[in-house]
A and B are shown apart, each in its own frame.
Chain A
Amino acid sequence: EDQVTQSPEALRLQEGESSSLNCSYTVSGLRGLFWYRQDPGKGPEFLFTLYSAGEEKEKERLKATLTKKESFLHITAPKPEDSATYLCAVQAANTGNQFYFGTGTSLTVIP
């Protein structure tokens, strides 16, 4: 069964304290792995798409990496405005448009 597991469930960081979020997945043929940011009361905001192992994408303080079993979202020197829930989703080769989402990591960055 296709699955996506995110860890940790919640993370508190001091401003400037770098860390990583994990997304582990099991799918039958990966079409794409997606990272989203979601602020309270809002819809998920697209961040990155990764298609194959070894691929990396960067945007400001965020860097996403992908292996055959997991993806990491690295946050370098975070700021309070980076506080949000980060969602990971995968699209499998045999399930058409369907995305499988994890439950997310709630990140709080303390000034």
Chain B
Amino acid sequence: ETGVTQTPRHLVMGMTNKKSLKCEQHLGHNAMYWYKQSAKKPLELMFVYNFKEQTENNSVPSRFSPECPNSSHLFLHLHTLQPEDSALYLCASSQDNGWSYEQYFGPGTRLTVT
């Protein structure tokens, strides 16, 4: 089991609902990430936070809204999603030393939009 936890593990929501995904890392890292994983596609980076500051936003639709209150917690707020947003959403963390460090992933939230 990794030091990155995610809740809920499964989520079914309608297109008009508002929900949030939560991620917590217990590794003392300073960078956190949201990824989307769809079948037969590479992991897609959505957002990156370094020291609580958002440093990457890979053209993600505004119906996805990230929040990083501190270096251990990361949220993904969801509203008015589309069926094509159904996927596995993964959170990861790393220790960013300015060069290269491996990312550690949580178990993911399986999201189904009906």
Contact = CB atoms under 8 A, between A and B. Distances in A.
Partners in one complex: yes
A64 interface: no
Interface residues of A, number: 24
Given A43-B106, A44-B105, A45-B105, A97 B48 contact: yes
Interface residues of B, number: 29
A71 B16 CA distance: 45
B56 A98 contact: yes
B112 to A, nearest CB: 13
Contacts of B99: 31
Contact of B2 (A32, A43, A49, A98): A43
Given A96-B55, A98-B56, A43 B45 contact: no
B34 interface: no
Given A43-B4, A99-B45, A31 B108 contact: no
Q: Choose among B43, B50, B104 the residue with the greatest number of A CB atoms under 10 Å from its CB.
A: B43
